Structure 1
């Protein structure tokens, strides 16, 4: 199955729980040895190891999204464009424009799938490309796009940083909605917001550290709980976006 057929089967709406842990690369390797009987690599991984993720984050001049995170606001929303540079269709690049909503540990995502070259135009509801996309979109995509436009206009959102990392994702062989992901080389830049440009200037976390994310809909399987406890993993709340802006010292423009 090629990438385009796979991408068509991507979920456009998620509602799940996500727990994050910071672990060393050695601890990651230890965990991998324990989870392999229960989990398999995500089939979207084409090189049998990992794939790159690049996300362009938006915020207001007052850093509305960052301040909500720091102030511990229970319900938060942020806008980003997510790009998987390892995949393309007919030599054309595609991205997801996403709204990520977080209520404590619960995460909901709504997203639309668009050509990279059109993404910035689609954010502007007055642009002809945006109107053409809307007119040809499904009801679900139209509703997501309306919410994107609302946030974009309400907070006068601007691109503020690109966060990139390498992700190694695993799926449970039994519990189909249980996932583990391991993110390394987590980097940020607050210049050159072209997602085709791969280099980033600063590491958000040390190179020998990995962010493990535990993702599930209703429960964590008992075998996974035992493995996490056996390896003394401690939950650590971290936002790649907020931590990235802190690394660039780019808090607010006004």
Structure 2
């Protein structure tokens, strides 16, 4: 009987030892990057020096580590994203997402999206339009997303000769923003530039610098304190490219927002109705 008890105790000790060893085997966050790159090199033809790390997060909903990486020199006709999930021990979960070919329409859309949230957005958009206009024989307007098609047909260019400099137009936009009723410079400073664009809206008939500002959500408490619950989430305005004037009333999209992100740039019928209803 004593021998049986000792045997059981030894078995139990071994099990506990294995459990402890398993717990110690959990991968550390500092080891995730190396582990993912090892897996990428093991399962694909890519090497670490071709990639840059995106994000590393612990996904609380799926209880796994997730890391993204990108091809440094990604061909234009490919999406260069890697996405890899690991369990707590560093084992690969599911299939890794790897770069793949994308259609011409998707290339156009990706490159358009990359223009926004940049100080030189207006130049990037002009270059995007010029590039894809030159490749128009590869495009099918019917296959484009309606927004991409609207942007492609918007007539975006670089500022024409005789236009005021972009920097002057931007300063004017900041001034007009602070002059909106119930606004001031402290409030306008809580908004960042999302889009800038030089074009000639069909209903305006003259070139403008378009600016769209978006709220910094970290400052939503300050905005709620100033405006109330329905504060402006986005504000768009146009500055005349020839004289620097405010072309029409600024368009404020209050929380909860009624416009899609780009409606005020492509000037949908809902936006035009807003302007008509709010112009003194």
TM-score interval, normalised by the smaller of the two chains:
under 0.3
Q: TM-score when scaled to structure 2?
A: 0.21
Higher strand share: 1
Q: TM-score when scaled to structure 1?
A: 0.23
